[in-house]
């Protein structure tokens, strides 16, 4: 028995969650992130854990880590000097994309410059048809010519994405063989290895993003492995994946496409565990850190998944937890534009120098500073004493804006919070509208360093049912990685009619995926426990352009029950589009298989009801709705099942602060979660 450690690196803080396998105790910690020296925060955190909880690194038996290094590489455009090999005459695949404007309401909007510019895209003379047959054999000389041009532009890596390689990767593999033989110093990435799926742009852009970040990701993960060994933790780190699972860091060095949304996905998985624990049928997770607010929908404890999630300005088509990111975080800077209008974000103060109130050199007013001026923050240290709040510096920063706006510092601070919330409202409304959801039927699960602080304002705008604040909200993303399954997705494009004539091919296709999945989890990941395999298929009516991922049962596949498969598709089509056609022909485009293995997880029993009545440890003045009002201050460690708090109030704990607004009431459930509701809804 040992200790299981989950880590999540954010823009301001790096969060640690430690689970004692022998006692079931959960310990948490925050340290400041080190964007100037990635990995240093891991060493700092492990050292502080050893000091605070008497946990030696050598006793760490399991280590999971969520990272944003891939996303940041794309956003900052600091990836490898990448080149692209395509089938001759298809060199414009990245520019053409899907011929969609980024903003259809802005006639001047333009697609971002590709990660591989046109002068670094080279055509290869060859052609494989959609059925996998070879129309034009691969011309060796065209490969050598392209390789020469790669050297001329100083290319360090090449993505090979040839037509219909998802059906037949023979030509892509031959090209890779030539490159490795004649230019072994150049890294080569095959699109058919990254995600072998139909549609050339989708397959190509996914491989390009993966190839662009691969050296940075591999370097970071190697550094992580070194840091753990130097600290005395002799364990292979597990990396959280975009699909909410985990994989080994060693695998992540080459399969980095699977971990591009690593950090955001683990937060949603942590929120999903809270939704299951509290038995809420429909929930929205709100993860607000220092730089952004991440929102996801959770239905019956299951997060929603999708493809086409954005990495910076570019989509990838690996299955991912669906998360909408909004540029509003605790460190978002407030500013006045040329027209004299107050704006908030998207620029963030981050961890260096951070908000003005941190006293680390920041001078720009942020959302965090606004909350200090309003009175909600400043009564305790933040981030396990990593930060001490200086309210004087917060007032100075906010006052820089108040003079130009002819408002008091408190009025400006309240305006900053409301403007930030209005930005969240706009983006969240888009998400809800696309999915036809009513926020009044949903619970808001708030976490992250700033989530419980701002959740009241967000929930009020949507008139949401209630707010749930977990027991360790500030480190829930680290906890999500800690409880995540070992998980991977497999896909095979088949283009089959759903008919009796295709039954054998369907069985064979799923059989191949099952063997690949078992090989991955047993041999690659070394997992020996029980596994779960979930088959599905991308299905559509003949003539449709896009498919629906339809869950199938293994027994249907084994028995060849095409009627049950068709019924599942018709029902799902009806649910999504409110119409279906049971007489129409159905096609299977892709077969999918998800495999997962469940490592040991924490089991949280119900807490005993406290014997003492709850009392505020002090009373403070907070500014709300343009006036001062008295608010009680409570310690989270004093709260127990059955306790109630009337707002306005502030709940303090080491990993974050929770704001209970006027007109709200909070209760504590049997597991210690805080339920916050409007008094008129009780």
pLDDT of residue 385: 66
| pLDDT for the residue 264 | 82
Beta bridge partners of 311: 314
What is the structure's pLDDT at 605?
Answer: 80
Q: Which residue has the higher pLDDT, 434 or 317?
A: 317
CB distance 468 to 673 below 8 Å: yes
The yes-or-no verdict on residue 106 having pLDDT over 90 is no
Q: Is the pLDDT of residue 589 over 90?
A: yes
Q: Indicate if the pLDDT at residue 125 is higher than 60.
A: yes
pLDDT tens column, 329-368 = 888 999 998 888 999 988 888 777 889 998 989 899 999 9
Give the mean pLDDT of 567-573.
96
pLDDT of residue 381: 64
Span 597-638, pLDDT tens digits: 988 777 788 888 887 889 899 999 999 888 999 999 999 999
The answer, yes or no, to whether residue 128 has pLDDT greater than 90, is yes
Our measurement of the distance from residue 494's CA atom to the centroid of its chain's CA atoms, rounded to an integer in Å, reads 30
pLDDT for 410 equals 94
pLDDT reading at 382 higher than 70: no
- The string of pLDDT tens digits covering residues 342-351 is 999 888 887 7
Tell me, what DSSP letter sits at residue 247? E
pLDDT band at 505 (very low <50, low <70, confident <90, very high): very high
Query: 77-216 with 486-597: one CATH topology?
Result: no
- pLDDT the model gives residue 179: 97
Mean pLDDT lowest among 91-95, 150-154, 386-390, 415-419? 386-390
Token pair belonging to 190: 């095959």
CA dihedral 303, 305, 310, 316 (to 10 degrees): 150
- Please give the DSSP secondary-structure letter assigned to residue 484: P
The model's pLDDT over 516-536, given as tens digits with 9 standing for 90+, comes to 999 999 999 999 999 999 999
Classify domain 486-597 by CATH architecture.
2-Layer Sandwich (3.30)
Q: What is the pLDDT of residues 36-54, one digit of tens each?
A: 776 788 888 888 888 878 8
> Would you kindly state where each structural domain of the chain is located, as residue ranges?
77-216, 486-597, 618-681
pLDDT of residue 418: 95
Q: What local confidence, expressed as pLDDT, does residue 21 receive? A: 83
Indicate the average pLDDT of the chain. Answer: 90
Running DSSP on this structure, what letter comes out for residue 207?
H
- Which pLDDT belongs to residue 194? 94
**Confidence bin at 149 (pLDDT 50/70/90):** very high
We find that the CATH architecture of domain 77-216 is: 3-Layer(aba) Sandwich (3.40)
pLDDT band at 312 (very low <50, low <70, confident <90, very high): confident
Beta-strand ranges (E) seen in 233-385 are 238-240, 246-248, 282-288, 293-299, 302-303, 305-306, 309-311, 314-316, 320-321, 324-326, 332-336, 342-348
**Confidence (pLDDT) at 37:** 72
Query: Does residue 680 have a pLDDT over 80?
Result: no
pLDDT digits 0-9 by tens, 54-85: 888 888 889 999 887 888 788 778 899 999 99
Q: Which single residue is written with the structure tokens 């941190």?
A: 358
Overall average pLDDT of the 581-588 stretch? 95
**Res 152 pLDDT > 90:** yes
HSE of 319, CA atoms in CB hemisphere, 13 A: 20
Q: What percent of the chain has pLDDT over 90?
A: 62
Output the pLDDT for position 383: 58
Contacts of 375 (CB under 8 A, 6+ apart): 620, 621, 622, 623, 631
Cα-atom radius of gyration of the chain, to the nearest Å?
A: 26
pLDDT of residue 1: 64
Taking a C-beta distance cutoff of 8 angstroms, is the pair 67, 38 a contact?
no
Place of tokens 């990593």: 386
Question: According to the model, what pLDDT value does residue 654 have?
Answer: 85
Tokens read off for 517: 């999945």
Q: What average pLDDT does this structure show over 439-464?
A: 94
Over residues 146-174, mean pLDDT: 96
Query: Which of 35-49, 418-432, 559-573, 580-594 has the lowest average pLDDT?
Result: 35-49
Average pLDDT over residues 253-274: 89
Give pLDDT tens digits for 190-243: 999 999 989 999 999 999 999 999 999 999 899 889 988 888 888 999 999 999
Buried-exposed string 73-103: b where 16+ CB fall within 10 A, e elsewhere: bbeeeebbebbbbbbbebbebbeebeeeeee
pLDDT value at position 104? 72
pLDDT of residue 215: 92
Query: What percent of the chain has a predicted confidence (pLDDT) above 70?
Result: 98
Q: d(Cα 22, Cα 1) in Å, to the nearest integer?
A: 6
Predicted local confidence at residue 664, as pLDDT: 93
> Would you state the pLDDT for residue 328?
82
Average pLDDT value for residue range 554-583: 94
Buried b / exposed e across 414-453, counting CB within 10 Å, b at 16+? bbbbbbbbebbbebbeebbeeeeeebeebbbbbbbbbbbb
């Amino acid at each position: 028995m040992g200790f299981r450690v989950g880590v999540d690196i954010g823009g301001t803080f790096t969060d640690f969650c430690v689970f004692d396998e022998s006692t079931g105790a959960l310990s948490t910690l925050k340290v400041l992130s080190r964007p100037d020296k990635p990995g240093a925060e891991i060493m700092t955190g492990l050292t502080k854990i050893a000091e605070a909880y008497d946990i030696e690194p050598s006793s760490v038996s399991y280590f999971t880590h969520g990272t944003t290094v891939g996303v940041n590489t794309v956003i900052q455009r600091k990836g490898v000097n990448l080149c692209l090999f395509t089938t001759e005459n298809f060199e414009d695949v990245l520019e053409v994309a899907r011929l969609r404007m980024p903003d259809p309401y802005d006639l001047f909007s333009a697609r971002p410059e590709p990660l591989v510019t046109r002068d670094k895209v080279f055509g290869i003379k060859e052609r494989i048809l959609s059925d996998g047959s070879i129309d034009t054999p691969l011309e060796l000389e065209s490969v050598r010519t392209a390789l020469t041009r790669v050297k001329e532009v100083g290319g360090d890596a090449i993505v090979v994405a040839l037509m219909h390689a998802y059906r037949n990767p023979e030509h892509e593999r031959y090209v890779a063989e030539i490159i490795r033989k004649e230019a072994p110093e150049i890294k080569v990435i095959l699109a058919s290895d990254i995600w072998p799926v139909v549609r050339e742009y989708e397959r190509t852009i996914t491989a390009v993003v993966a190839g662009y970040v691969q050296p940075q990701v591999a370097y970071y993960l190697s550094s992580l492995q070194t840091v753990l060994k130097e600290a005395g933790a002799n364990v292979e780190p597990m990396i959280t994946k975009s699909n909410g699972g985990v994989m080994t860091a060693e695998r992540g060095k080459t399969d980095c496409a699977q971990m591009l949304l690593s950090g955001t996905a683990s937060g949603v998985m942590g929120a999903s565990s809270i939704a299951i624990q509290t038995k809420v049928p429909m929930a929205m997770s709100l993860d607000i850190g220092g730089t952004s607010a991440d929102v996801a929908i959770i239905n019956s404890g299951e997060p929603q998944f999708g493809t086409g999630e954005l990495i910076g300005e570019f989509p990838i088509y690996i299955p991912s937890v669906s998360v909408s990111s909004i540029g509003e975080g605790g460190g978002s800077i407030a500013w006045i534009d040329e027209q004299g209008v107050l704006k908030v974000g998207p620029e963030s103060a981050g961890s260096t120098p951070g908000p003005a109130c941190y006293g680390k050199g920041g001078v720009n007013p942020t959302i965090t500073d606004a909350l200090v001026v309003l009175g909600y923050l400043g009564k305790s240290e933040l981030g396990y004493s990593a930060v001490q709040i200086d309210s004087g510096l917060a007032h100075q920063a906010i006052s820089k804006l108040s003079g130009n706006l002819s408002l008091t510092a408190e009025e400006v601070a309240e305006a900053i919070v409301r403007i930030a919330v209005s930005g969240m409202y706009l983006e969240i409304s888009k998400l809800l509208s696309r999915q036809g959801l009513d926020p009044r039927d949903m619970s808001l699960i708030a976490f992250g360093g700033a989530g419980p602080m701002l959740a009241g304002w967000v929930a009020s705008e949507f008139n949401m049912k209630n707010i749930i604040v977990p027991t360790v909200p500030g480190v829930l993303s680290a906890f999500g990685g800690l409880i995540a399954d070992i998980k991977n997705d497999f896909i095979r494009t088949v283009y089959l009619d759903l008919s009796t004539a295709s039954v054998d091919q369907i069985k064979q296709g799923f059989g191949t995926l099952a063997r690949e999945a078992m090989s991955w989890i047993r041999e690659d990941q070394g997992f020996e426990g029980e596994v779960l395999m979930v088959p599905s298929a991308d299905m559509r009516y003949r003539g449709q352009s896009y498919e629906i991922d339809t869950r199938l049962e293994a027994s249907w596949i084994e028995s060849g029950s095409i009627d049950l498969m068709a019924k599942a598709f018709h029902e799902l089509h009806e649910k999504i589009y409110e119409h279906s056609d049971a007489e129409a022909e159905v096609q299977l485009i892709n077969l999918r298989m998800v495999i997962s293995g469940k490592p040991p997880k924490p089991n949280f029993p119900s807490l005993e009801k406290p014997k003492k009545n709850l009392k505020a440890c002090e009373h403070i003045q907070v500014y709300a709705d343009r006036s001062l009002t008295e608010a009680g201050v409570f310690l989270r460690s004093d709260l127990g099942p059955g306790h109630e708090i009337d707002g306005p109030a502030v709940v303090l704990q080491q990993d974050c602060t929770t704001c209970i607004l006027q007109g709200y009431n909070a209760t504590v459930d049997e597991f210690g979660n805080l339920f916050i509701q409007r008094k008129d809804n009780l």
